[in-house]
Structure formats: structure tokens, C-alpha cells
């Protein structure tokens, strides 16, 4: 496993291009485009203000830089460095900006979710979509990029509009039986839209592409409901994480529950492997220390090594008692992700913040529990293999695969706390970002095979 | 007992007293009656003194008459021979006395019996009293217990009542809270709606303002427009495009559904295949059972008959590849037939189960127990055998050890043979030494013999010379006196010299004997060796299965010429080792 040197960035703006050739990062006003392999700077663009959001177009030709404070979006082209485009939302303001799947339209959401402006890079045309709903996940594109679903709110009622992305024509418009939509998400096959209600109520609705209601699922009433939703890449399963610390798996034929995964504080079943990260301070050999200690030496001296150990069962996990009288309590399953091969599901129960639960989707059983020393910030599956990368806001990156797991110290001078990470599209490298820096971690294929 | 005595004596008194008084009145022997009357109480103590005082020389007559009266009143025959009371009838007196004595003895016996009875009864009484006390205690404790339990029960009931009350309260509370929650929720929703409406109004207003104001800043500044990804130009929005979009959408949906249908079809086909296979297997499993129910059905019910007909039909269809048909038409038939067959199979299995259970129970009742006993016996027998075998092995080993002071081993046979030979040599050496000593002795003897012989020879010479001189003398004297006598003497002397030769021959024979003995010893040695080697062979054949092990052990052993210490060590570890091996070899 190799690490690159580290580079500056701001606002954790670091994105691989969809084709995997380039890496864009934002440093204050500047947008730096590097080669993903060599990390040499290919282009350097300067924006009018501090960049707050970066997004690659689907064909990796354009990069969108949003500056929400100014209400301005600037678009840069990789092929024609001279080409420029600047979109000013004016007094309407800007809170979100994204590409349409064709990479030729930009959807800007104005302040107060007044409207969504669709700007085209091909024609002068501008379209408005009124009444977008202010919610977690109000816009969803199908994976093939043909359709867009948009959550709307009109006259105190929730609606969903389906648009054809090629010409932004409204395809379907229907009201949903929800109190307050919290989010919408297309199934990867692009034919089923999952719509879930606000956390006050457990309710998830499944709509067909033609607007028919396929099914409604409610696990319980009265207490806090859905916290997170994820489709399996095969569209076969819909995993719903909720505030009752459970994940429920629905099937795609009858839309009934197949099973539910509990996240108890103590793991008792003997078939489960519990890995616990253990910290060990290295033995200091005082006679080998150079007198004016070099910086790397010092950092390595004071940083403790960590490794995983298999815990004897039953194992009890570190858990946090949530404040019940506060809004958005830290309880329930808040993070969910299927592996790219559909075989595993990784979850995090927010009141056991240090543990990642990995479920075997073929046996529908808990497979592994990883307990970290710090709270999990983010985990992400390798886009090509069943390999999970995790970070816990310390100077280590953690990898799990069915063969085992490793904790790797990021060998960078100074303080490098990994708060976010993103995989390269081939799964050969991971970009690790701290608050001000980023570096690339290259994973060797051979090593992976051996592991 | 003492009490009883004191009570009993006066109780006896009245019975005795009545005749006393009556007789006294009748007879009135004043002195006697007084005496008697004066001594009724200390009767038992003073019988002796009384009797001695009763009859004196003076009042024999009176006492006799008195006694006679007394006895007659008690039903004894009169003491007198005649009725007038003049002549004493000794026989009757004696009879009376005898009878009295017998009576006395009987009374004593009954008294004893009564006493023992009394003792028994009193002990019984004591026992019963004890029992009574104990039971009373028990009763008391149980009573107390019941009271305690009742108290606890009461308390628990109280608690329960309280809990029920609490539960009720809680339920009420929950109900109240739910109501509150519901009302709050409605209120919240209402408020939210109101707020949202206001918010919407504001938004609308804002939007209008934005649109009216003609925001100059609101613009896109592009160097030049980019081509579309597909290279086409964007079309106008018309009804046509709308229709096309719809079409596309339905196409997508249709594709999806088709795919899913295909998957389902495949799955269905597989399931059908499985079903068919199962059906076939069931049918093949149940040929005799199938007949019987059919017959039964024909006997009993028409509907089942129809069912079987249907089944037959379906069977025919089956032959015509029913599986390609849509499930709708044959589903019911198929399901019915399968269900029926399944039921049959189930029945069959249940029957089999029952049978098996029966058989099992029967065997459990009858043969199994016996077999178990047999088994146990067998096991015991086998254990005994094992024990015997072990003992045999031990004795064999001991024998082996005794016979061969050097250990024997199959693979180390050469080495061991060497040891053995050494032993033998040593023994032979000893023998040899012994023999040598013997030889020395013999030699000594020989020497002495030879010396003796030399001496003898010398003596002989001297004797010969003597004889010569004597003969000379004789010869000189012969001319005159007895020649014959001398001749005889000479003869005897010559025979005596021949006799003196025998010790040497004797020695020779002795030597011969010893030689024989030696060879004998040698032979026995040889035989011993032979027997031991045969034994070795036996053991070697016995140990073959564990040869690999031995080979390993051989490696451990020191190879080459074996010192006596080594032999000793070998000797030491062999028994245990061989013993374990024998154990291994045992079944």
C-alpha cells in the first residue's frame, strides 16, 4: 500500500472524474485538476470566489464550481481551457447546484427552494421548475440518466414530478400519501421510485415509473421512523434503517419484509467475528533516538500503532446514550451501504458510533462487526470488489474485506485526520481527505489478492 | 410397680375378708380370730411369722378345723376322713396342699403375666403419649404455617390489587398521553399547515417580485454553446415529443417487466421441474399404497373417485407435456393430485413411523433388554478376557525377563543376541573357571597321586631290593629249610602291588566323568538358549503390528556393541514398552 504526498485543499473538495483519469480539488479560489495516476497538475482554473462545491459532468469534460455565497456557478472545460461559463442566479440566491445526467444542463436550486433553474450549455434556453421541496434528498436521477424525480410541495401536500431529462418535459405528476417527504431514491434499474416520509412516521412508498403506487410499507407507528434508505445494486433489496436500531430488508417482488437486522449492544452469536481495534504504543528504543529528533521520527514516536484483534464472544460494544429530549437524537441506523457485488451490507447504528456492522446478504445474517477506537465518520465500498474503506477522523484508514481487516497509518508529516474518503472508479486507489489536505492511497492488486 | 403393690394388697383384702369373717363367726376360735383379725394388713409381709404363729402344739385341733373350714368354704374337699372331723385324712390334706401350691404357682404366673402385660401397656402408653405430643407439636407448627401462608397470600393479594390499580392508572396515563400526543400532532399539523401557507404566500410573492424585477444579474455568460452529448440538436417541445416520451417510458417499463417475467418464468420452470420430479418420486415410492386408497375410494366415496380420474387425466396431459401449458388450466388438477399424493405419502410415512415405533417398543420390551443383558454379559466376558490376556502378557514378560537377563527385541535382535551371547560367555567363563578350578584340583590330586606312585615305585624298588636281599638270604638259606611257604608269600605281595595301581585309573575315570558333566552343562546351556530364541521368535511374531513404532524406538536406542549398562537400560524399558504394545494389540 502506497501513499502519495499530501496536497492542500479546502472544504474537502476532492473528486475523481467519472472516467477515472483526473482528480479535481478546490483550494480557496482555485480549481486544480490533476492526473489521477501521476498527480501532475493538468489544469488550473481560478474562480471568482471561494469554491464551495465541485462536480464533474458525467462525460468528465466539464467541472462545475459552485459559490453559494455569491450565488454564482462557474463551469470549466478540460478540453478547452479557454472556454468559460458563469451562471449568476442573481438576487434569487443559490443553495444547491448539480449536473443533469447528460452533462449539458445545470440545475440550480434557489434560496428558500423557490424554484430550480435548469440552465443548458447547448442552447440559450432556461427552464424553471417551481415548488421544489426542501428536503434531504429532493432530486433523484435514474442511473441511466433518462429520468429525474423531484419532490414537490404545493398547497401543503407532497407531490412527485417525473421529468424526462433529455428535454425536461414533465412525464408524470402525482401526489404521494406522505405527510412530509424526507427523501426519494430511484432503484438502480430505474423503474421503481422509493419515497419515504419524515422521521416522525415510519412510511415508505414505492412508485412505478408510470406513477402507479406499487406498495406501501409501515413497520410501526408512533415512534420515530426511517433514518436512511439504500437500494442494493441489483435493485433486488431495499434496506431501510430506522430509529428503532433496525434495518429492514424489503424484496422487489412483493415489497414485503424479508428480514430485519438488529443492532444490539452485545454480540453473542458465536458465528460472528468481532474485530476490535486495539491501540499499542510502540516500544521506544532510547539509545537509537537521534538527538535533534527529526519531525517524522517525532510523529512516529508519539503516534501509537493500532491493529485489529478478534474479540471473544459475547462482546459488548461501546455505546452512547442518546439525549431523548433533543431533536434528531443520535440513535438508529443512520448509515447504510451495499457492496458493489450485492453480497454485503454495511451499517452503522448511531448510538454505537464506533462499530460497523457487515451483514452477509446471501445468508441474511450478521457476518462481521468492526469496533473502532473512534466514531465512524464515513465508510464506502470499493466500486469493483467487496472491500470497505472506513475513516474515523484520526490518522488511520481502515480496510475490510471478507478475508480480514487492516488498519493503516497514513504516513504523512504532521496531523492528518482522515474525515472523508472516496474510491477511484477502478477501486485501485482511495483519496483520503483531512480538513486541509488530501492524499491518495494506492492499493496494490497483488496484495489485495493475497490478503 | 411398687405403687401397684400397695394398691393391690388392700384390694385383695375384701375378697379374703369375707370368708374370714364368716368363718370366724362360725368357728370363733377367739385367739386365732383375734390374731387373724389383728394381722390382715401386714399379711403379705408376715405370712411366715403368721404361719409359724398360726399353729402351735396347743391349737393343732383348732387350726386344723379352722383350715378345714376355710378350705371347704373355698371348695376344697374336707380334710377329715369322716364328716365329724375327728380323723385327719392325710391324702386329702396333701392333695389340698398340692392344689394350693399349684394355685399359688398359677396365681404367681398370672400375676407375672399381668405385670409384663402392664409393663408392655405402660410402655405402649408412653410411646403413644410421645406420639401424641409430637403430633400435637406438628399440628401446632402446621397451623402456624398455614396462618403464615394465609398472611402472605393476603399480602400478595393486596400487592396484586395495588399493582392492578397501578396498571390501570398507567393505562389511563398512557391513554391520556396518547390523546395528548394525538391532539398535539393535529395541532402541530394544523400549525404547520398555517405556517406553510404563509410561507408559500411569501414565496409566491417573492417569486413574482423576482420575475417582475427583471434581475439583470440573473444571467448566463457562456463563451460558446457546447454540442449535445449525442450530437443531435434539441428538438422543440410538441405533443409529438410528449407522446414519444411516453412511449419511451413504457418501453423502459415493458423491458423491465419482460425481464422480470423471464426471470420468473425460469424460476417457475425450475419449480415445476422440481414438482414433477417430486411427484414422480412419490409415485414410485407408493405403488402399493396407491392401489389401496383407490379401492377404498371406489368402495366409499364418489368424489375421491373423480379426483383420481382427474389425476389420471392430468397424468395423460402430463404425458403430452403439460408443463408447456399455462399453469391456469392445469394448476388446480396438479395441485389436487400433488396434495392427494402428498397426503398419501404422509399417511404412509406416519404408518411407517407407527410401525417403527411399535417394532421399536416391542424390541424394547422383549429382545432389546435381553440383548442388552447379553451385551453386558459379553462385555464383562470380554473384559475378563482382556484381564486374563493382560495377566498372561505380564507373566510372559516376567518369564521372559527371568529367562533372559538380557532383554529381547525383534529389531534389535542382533544386538540383543550379542547381549545374550555375552551373558552366555560370561556364564561359560564362570563355568570355565569352575572347571579350571576343578582341573586344578584334579591336577593337584594327580600330582599327589603321581607322587604317591613315585613313592610307591620307590618303595617298590626298596621292597624289591629288600626282596632281592631277602631272596638272596632265603636262597642262601633255602638249601636247608621251607621253600614253599616263601613262594606263596611272594605271590600275595605281587598281587598287592597290582592293587596299588588302581588309584591312578580311578582318577582317570573321575576325570572322564567331570568331562561328561561339563558337556552336559554345555548342552543344557545350549538348550536354554534355543528355548529362549524360540520364545523370542514367538514374541517377535506377536509384536509385528507395532513394528514401525519399534523401529523408531530402535533409532533411539544406542546402536553397535552394547555395554552391560545399555543392556540394563534396555532391560529396564522393555517391559513397560512391551506391555503397552500388548495393550495396543488387544482388540
**pLDDT tens digits for B58-74?**
888 888 888 888 888 88
Q: B252 at the A interface (CB within 8 A)? A: yes
Pairwise CA distance, residues A400 & A356, whole Å: 10
**3-state DSSP assignment of residue A357:** strand
Give the residue, B47 or A1, on which the prediction is more confident. A1
Say how far apart CA A363 and CA A309 lie, in whole Å.
Answer: 25
Band of pLDDT at residue A298, cut at 50, 70 and 90:
low
CA distance, residue A399 to nearest chain B CA (Å): 36
pLDDT at B209: 82
Q: What is the ipTM of this complex?
A: 0.73
CA pair distance A118, A47, nearest whole angstrom: 21
Interface test with A, best of B178, B226, B230, B244 (most A CBs within 10 A): B226
The whole-angstrom separation of Cα A241 and Cα A225 is 9
pLDDT the model gives residue A75: 92
Residue of A279, A363, A366, A263 whose CA lies nearest to A317? A263
Query: Which residue bears the cell 566323568?
Result: B513
Distance, CA of B97 to CA of A120 (rounded, Å): 160
Q: Which residue has the cell 444579474?
A: B217
Separation between Cα atoms, residue A176 and residue A204, nearest integer Å: 10
Contact A388, A400 (CB under 8 A): yes
The secondary structure element, H or E, covering residue A429 is strand A429-433
Q: By the CB < 8 Å criterion, does B194 face chain A?
A: no
Q: How far is CA B131 from the centre of its chain?
A: 43
Cis peptide upstream of residue A314 (ω within 30 degrees of 0): yes
Q: Taking residues A299-323, report their average pLDDT.
A: 78
Contact A256, A355 (CB under 8 A): no
**Positive or negative CA dihedral for B484, B489, B490, B495?**
positive
β A365-371/A273-280 pair status = parallel
CB pair distance less than 8 Å for B215 and A90: yes
* 8 Å CB contact between B54 and B64: no
All residues of chain B having their beta carbon less than 8 Å from the beta carbon of residue A84 are 221-223
Among the listed residues A108, A79, A75, the one whose alpha carbon sits nearest the alpha carbon of residue A94: A108
Region A265-283: mean pLDDT is 82
- From chain B, the residues in CB contact with A190 under 8 A are 252, 256
Task: Give A126's contacts in chain B (Cβ within 8 Å).
Answer: 220
**Nearest-CA neighbor of A121 among A48, A60, A57, A32?**
A57
- Return the beta strands (E) in B385-483 as ranges: none
First-to-last CA distance in chain A? Answer: 12
Q: Is the dihedral of CA A410, A415, A418, A423 positive or negative?
A: negative
- Are the C-beta atoms of residues A308 and A407 closer than 8 Å to each other? yes
Give the DSSP H or E segment for A129: strand A126-130
| Beta-carbon separation of B218 and A130 below 8 A | no
Q: Count Cα atoms within 13 angstroms, Cβ side, for B135.
A: 6
- State the Cα–Cα distance between residues B256 and A214, nearest whole angstrom: 14
- Split at pLDDT 50, 70, 90, the class of A297 is low
Q: Pick from A36, A34, A72, A35: which is nearest to A51 by CA?
A: A72
**pLDDT band for position A267 (50/70/90)?**
confident
Q: Report CB contact under 8 Å: B220, A91.
A: no
Out of 2.130.10.10, 3.40.190.10, 3.40.50.150, 1.20.1600.10, the CATH code matching A7-130 is 2.130.10.10
**For each of chain B's 587 residues, which pLDDT tens digit applies?**
444 444 434 444 444 444 444 443 444 444 444 444 444 444 444 445 455 677 788 888 888 888 888 888 888 877 777 766 667 778 888 888 888 899 899 999 999 999 999 999 999 999 999 999 999 999 999 999 999 999 999 999 999 999 999 999 999 999 999 999 899 989 988 898 898 888 888 888 888 887 776 666 677 777 777 776 666 665 666 677 888 888 888 888 899 889 989 998 999 889 888 888 887 887 787 765 444 444 444 444 433 444 444 444 444 445 445 555 555 666 777 778 778 878 888 888 888 888 888 877 766 555 545 567 778 888 999 999 999 999 999 988 888 888 776 544 455 555 555 666 777 788 888 888 888 888 889 888 888 888 888 888 888 888 888 888 888 887 777 666 554 444 544 444 444 444 444 444 444 444 444 455 444 544 545 554 455 444 444 444 444 444 444 444 444 444 444 444 444 444 444 444 444 444 444 43
Interface check B228 vs A, CB under 8 A: yes
Inspect the interface and report whether the beta carbons of B220 and A191 lie closer than 8 Å: no
CB–CB of A368/A386 below 8 Å? Answer: no
Task: Enumerate the residues of chain B whose CB falls inside 8 A of the CB of residue A82.
Answer: 223
Cβ contacts below 8 Å, chain A against chain B, sum to 109
Domain locations in chain A as residue ranges? 7-130
For residue B567, what pLDDT is reported? 40
Give Cα separations from B424 to B428, B514, B533 (angstroms).
Answer: 6, 20, 13
Contacts of A167 in chain B (CB under 8 A): 234-235, 237, 241, 245
Report CA-CA distances (Å) from B83 to B61, B65, B93. 15, 12, 15
Quick one: average pLDDT of A170-198? 91
pLDDT at B300: 40
Residue B430, all three cell numbers:
564362570
Contact A121 B207 (CB under 8 A): no
- In a mutational test of the A interface, the residue from B186, B206, B245 whose CB has the highest number of chain A CBs within 10 Å is B245
Element (H or E) spanning A380, and its range?
strand A378-381
Q: How far is CA B548 from the centre of its chain?
A: 37
**HSE-up of residue B50 (Cα within 13 Å, Cβ side):** 16
Asked whether the beta carbons of residue B217 and residue A91 sit closer than 8 angstroms, the reply is yes
pLDDT band for A134, please (50, 70, 90 cuts).
confident
Does B239 lie at the interface with A, CB-CB under 8 angstroms?
no
Q: How far is CA B104 from CA A419, B26, B70, B109, in A?
A: 126, 26, 16, 9
Residue in chain B closest to A200 (alpha carbons) equals: B185
In chain B, which residues have their Cβ closer than 8 Å to the Cβ of A147? 249
CA–CA dist A425, A21 (Å, integer): 9
DSSP letter assigned to residue A132: B
CB-based contact (8 Å) between B250 and chain A?
Answer: yes
Cell of B285: 415410492
Contacts of B46 (CB under 8 A, 6+ apart): B39
Structural contact between residues B449 and B504, judged by C-beta atoms closer than 8 angstroms: yes
Helix, strand or coil for residue B237? Answer: coil
φ, ψ (nearest 5 deg) of residue B283: -60, -45
Searching chain B, which residue's CA lies closest to the CA of residue A172? B246
Q: pLDDT tens, A72-120?
A: 999 999 988 888 899 988 888 899 999 999 888 999 998 888 889 999 8
In angstroms, the CA B189 to CA B176 distance is 19
The 3-state DSSP class for residue A253 equals: coil
What does the pLDDT read at residue B150?
A: 95
**Mind listing the pLDDT tens digit for each residue in A190-234?**
889 999 998 888 999 999 988 899 999 998 887 889 999 999 999
- Cβ contact B241–A167 (<8 Å): yes
Q: What is the DSSP string of B457-483?
A: HHHHHHHHHHHHHHHHHHHHHHTTS--
Q: What are the DSSP E strand ranges found in B482-564?
A: none
Rounded Cα–Cα distance for residues B62 and B163 (Å) = 105
Supply the pLDDT for residue B307: 42
Q: Say if the Cβ atoms of B197 and A156 lie within 8 Å.
A: yes
Q: Would you give the DSSP letter of residue B368?
A: I
Separation of alpha carbons B199 and A183, rounded Å? 21
- CA pair distance A134, A170, nearest whole angstrom: 20
Report how far residue A373's alpha carbon sits from residue A389's, in angstroms, rounded to the nearest whole number.
15
> Given an 8 Å threshold on Cβ–Cβ distance, is A126 in contact with B215?
no
- Which segments within B219-277 are labelled E, that is strand? 219-222
pLDDT of residue A162: 92
CB contact under 8 A, B220 and A126: yes
**pLDDT of the residue at B562:** 41
pLDDT > 90 in chain A, percent = 45
Report residue A252 as a C-alpha cell. Answer: 422487489
| pLDDT at B365 (0 to 100) | 59
**Does residue B207 belong to the interface with chain A, where contact is any CB pair within 8 Å?**
yes
Lateral strand order in the sheet of A396-401 = A378-381, A388-391, A396-401, A404-409
**Hey, CA dihedral for B38, B42, B44, B47, is it positive or negative?**
negative
Output the pLDDT for position B20.
43
Q: pLDDT per residue over A359-418, tens digit each?
A: 999 989 899 999 998 899 999 999 998 899 999 988 889 999 998 888 888 888 778 889
d(C-alpha A337, C-alpha A237), whole Å? 12
Rounded CA-CA distance B477/B499 in Å is 30
Task: Kindly give the interhelix angle for B502-542 and B564-585, rounded to the nearest 10 degrees.
Answer: 40
B335-344 burial code (b ≥16 CB/10 A, e <16): eebbebbeeb
Question: In whole angstroms, how large is the CA radius of gyration of chain B?
Answer: 69
Amino acid at each position: 500500500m502506497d501513499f502519495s504526498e499530501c496536497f492542500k485543499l479546502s472544504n474537502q473538495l476532492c473528486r475523481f472524474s467519472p472516467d477515472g483519469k483526473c482528480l479535481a480539488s478546490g483550494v480557496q479560489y482555485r480549481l486544480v485538476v490533476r492526473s489521477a495516476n501521476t498527480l501532475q497538475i493538468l489544469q488550473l482554473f481560478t474562480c471568482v470566489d471561494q469554491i464551495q462545491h465541485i462536480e464533474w459532468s458525467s462525460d468528465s469534460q466539464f467541472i462545475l464550481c459552485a459559490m453559494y455565497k455569491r450565488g454564482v456557478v462557474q463551469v470549466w472545460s478540460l478540453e478547452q481551457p479557454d472556454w468559460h461559463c458563469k451562471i449568476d442566479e442573481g438576487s434569487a440566491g443559490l443553495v444547491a447546484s448539480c449536473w443533469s445526467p447528460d452533462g449539458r444542463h445545470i440545475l440550480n436550486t434557489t434560496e428558500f427552494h423557490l424554484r430550480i433553474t435548469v440552465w443548458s450549455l447547448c442552447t440559450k434556453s432556461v427552464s424553471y421548475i417551481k415548488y421544489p421541496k426542501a428536503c434531504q434528498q429532493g432530486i433523484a436521477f435514474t442511473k441511466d440518466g433518462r429520468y429525474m424525480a423531484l419532490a414537490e410541495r404545493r398547497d401543503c401536500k407532497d407531490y412527485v414530478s417525473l421529468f424526462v431529462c433529455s428535454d425536461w418535459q414533465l412525464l408524470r405528476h402525482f401526489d404521494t400519501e406522505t405527510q412530509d417527504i424526507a427523501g426519494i431514491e430511484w432503484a438502480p434499474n430505474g423503474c421503481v421510485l422509493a419515497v419515504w416520509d419524515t422521521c416522525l412516521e415510519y412510511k415508505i412508498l414505492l412508485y412505478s415509473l408510470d406513477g402507479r403506487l406499487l406498495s406501501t410499507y409501515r413497520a410501526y407507528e408512533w415512534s420515530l421512523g426511517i433514518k436512511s434508505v439504500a437500494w442494493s445494486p441489483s435493485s433486488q433489496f431495499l434496506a431501510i434503517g430506522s430509529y428503532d436500531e433496525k434495518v429492514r430488508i424489503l424484496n422487489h417482488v412483493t415489497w414485503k419484509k424479508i428480514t430485519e437486522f438488529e443492532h444490539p449492544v452485545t454480540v453473542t452469536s458465536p458465528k460472528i467475528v468481532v474485530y476490535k481495534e486495539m491501540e499499542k504504543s510502540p516500544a521506544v528504543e532510547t539509545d537509537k533516538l537521534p538527538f535533534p529528533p527529526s519531525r517524522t521520527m517525532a510523529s512516529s514516536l508519539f503516534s501509537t500503532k493500532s491493529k485489529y484483534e478478534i474479540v471473544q464472544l459475547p462482546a459488548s460494544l461501546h455505546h452512547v446514550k442518546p439525549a431523548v429530549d433533543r431533536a434528531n437524537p443520535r440513535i438508529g441506523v443512520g448509515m447504510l451501504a451495499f457492496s458493489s457485488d450485492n453480497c454485503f451490507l454495511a451499517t452503522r447504528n448511531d448510538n454505537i458510533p464506533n462499530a460497523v456492522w457487515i451483514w452477509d446478504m446471501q445468508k441474511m445474517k450478521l457476518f462481521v462487526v468492526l469496533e473502532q477506537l473512534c466514531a465512524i465518520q464515513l465508510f464506502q465500498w470499493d466500486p469493483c470488489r467487496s472491500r470497505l474503506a472506513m475513516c474515523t477522523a484520526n490518522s488511520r484508514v481502515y480496510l475490510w474485506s471478507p478475508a480480514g481487516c487492516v488498519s493503516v497509518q497514513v504516513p504523512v508529516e504532521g496531523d492528518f485526520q482522515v474525515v472523508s474518503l472516496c474510491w477511484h472508479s477502478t477501486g485501485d486507489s482511495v483519496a483520503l481527505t483531512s480538513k486541509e489536505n488530501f492524499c491518495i492511497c494506492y492499493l496494490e492488486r497483488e496484495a489485495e489478492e493475497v490478503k | 410397680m411398687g405403687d401397684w403393690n400397695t394398691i393391690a394388697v388392700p384390694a385383695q383384702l375384701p375378697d379374703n375378708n369375707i370368708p374370714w369373717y364368716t368363718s370366724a363367726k362360725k368357728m370363733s376360735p377367739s385367739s386365732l380370730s383375734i390374731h387373724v383379725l389383728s394381722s390382715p394388713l401386714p399379711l403379705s409381709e408376715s405370712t411366715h411369722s403368721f404361719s409359724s404363729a398360726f399353729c402351735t402344739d396347743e391349737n393343732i385341733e383348732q387350726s386344723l378345723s379352722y383350715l378345714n373350714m376355710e378350705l371347704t368354704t373355698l371348695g376344697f374337699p374336707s380334710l377329715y376322713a369322716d364328716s365329724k372331723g375327728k380323723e385327719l385324712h392325710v391324702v386329702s390334706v396333701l392333695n389340698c396342699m398340692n392344689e394350693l401350691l399349684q394355685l399359688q404357682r398359677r396365681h404367681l404366673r398370672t400375676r407375672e403375666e399381668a405385670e409384663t402385660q402392664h409393663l408392655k401397656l405402660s410402655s405402649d402408653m408412653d410411646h403413644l403419649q410421645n406420639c401424641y405430643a409430637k403430633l400435637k407439636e406438628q399440628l401446632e407448627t402446621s397451623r402456624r404455617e398455614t396462618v403464615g401462608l394465609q398472611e402472605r397470600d393476603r399480602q400478595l393479594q393486596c400487592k396484586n390489587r395495588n399493582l392492578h390499580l397501578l396498571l390501570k392508572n398507567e393505562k389511563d396515563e398512557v391513554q391520556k398521553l396518547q390523546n395528548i400526543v394525538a391532539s398535539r400532532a393535529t395541532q402541530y399539523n394544523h400549525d404547520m399547515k398555517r405556517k406553510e401557507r404563509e410561507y408559500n404566500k411569501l414565496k409566491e410573492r417573492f417569486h413574482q417580485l423576482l420575475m417582475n424585477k427583471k434581475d439583470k444579474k440573473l444571467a448566463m455568460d457562456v463563451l460558446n454553446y457546447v454540442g449535445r452529448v449525442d450530437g443531435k440538436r434539441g428538438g422543440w417541445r410538441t405533443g409529438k415529443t410528449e407522446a414519444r416520451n411516453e412511449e419511451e417510458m413504457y418501453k423502459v417499463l415493458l423491458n423491465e417487466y419482460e425481464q422480470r417475467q423471464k426471470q420468473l418464468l425460469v424460476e417457475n420452470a425450475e419449480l415445476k421441474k422440481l414438482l414433477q420430479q417430486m411427484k414422480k418420486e412419490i409415485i414410485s415410492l407408493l405403488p402399493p399404497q396407491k392401489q389401496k386408497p383407490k379401492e377404498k375410494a371406489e368402495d366409499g366415496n364418489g368424489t375421491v373417485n373423480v379426483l383420481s380420474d382427474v389425476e389420471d387425466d392430468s397424468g395423460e396431459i402430463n404425458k403430452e407435456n403439460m408443463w408447456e401449458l399455462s399453469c391456469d388450466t392445469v394448476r388446480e388438477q396438479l395441485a389436487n393430485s400433488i396434495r392427494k399424493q402428498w397426503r398419501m405419502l404422509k399417511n404412509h410415512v406416519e404408518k411407517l413411523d407407527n410401525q417403527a415405533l411399535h417394532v421399536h417398543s416391542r424390541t424394547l420390551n422383549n429382545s432389546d433388554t435381553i440383548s442388552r443383558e447379553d451385551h453386558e454379559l459379553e462385555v464383562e466376558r470380554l473384559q475378563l478376557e482382556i484381564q486374563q490376556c493382560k495377566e498372561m502378557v505380564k507373566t510372559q514378560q516376567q518369564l521372559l525377563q527371568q529367562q533372559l537377563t538380557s532383554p529381547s527385541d525383534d529389531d534389535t535382535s542382533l544386538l540383543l543376541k550379542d547381549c545374550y551371547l555375552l551373558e552366555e560367555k560370561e556364564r561359560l567363563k564362570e563355568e570355565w573357571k569352575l572347571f579350571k578350578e576343578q582341573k586344578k584340583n584334579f591336577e593337584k590330586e594327580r600330582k599327589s597321586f603321581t607322587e604317591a606312585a613315585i613313592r610307591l615305585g620307590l618303595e617298590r624298588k626298596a621292597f624289591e631290593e629288600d626282596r632281592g636281599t631277602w631272596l638272596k638270604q632265603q636262597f642262601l638259606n633255602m638249601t636247608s629249610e621251607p621253600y614253599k611257604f616263601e613262594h606263596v608269600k611272594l605271590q600275595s605281595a605281587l598281587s598287592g602291588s597290582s592293587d596299588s595301581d588302581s588309584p591312578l585309573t580311578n582318577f582317570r575315570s573321575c576325570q572322564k566323568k567331570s568331562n561328561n558333566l561339563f558337556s552336559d552343562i554345555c548342552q543344557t546351556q545350549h538348550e536354554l538358549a534355543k528355548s529362549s530364541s524360540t520364545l523370542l521368535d514367538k514374541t517377535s511374531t506377536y509384536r509385528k503390528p507395532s513394528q514401525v513404532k519399534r523401529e523408531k524406538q530402535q533409532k533411539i536406542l544406542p546402536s553397535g556393541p552394547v555395554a552391560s549398562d545399555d543392556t540394563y537400560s534396555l532391560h529396564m524399558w522393555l517391559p513397560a514398552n512391551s506391555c503397552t504394545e500388548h495393550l495396543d494389540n488387544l482388540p
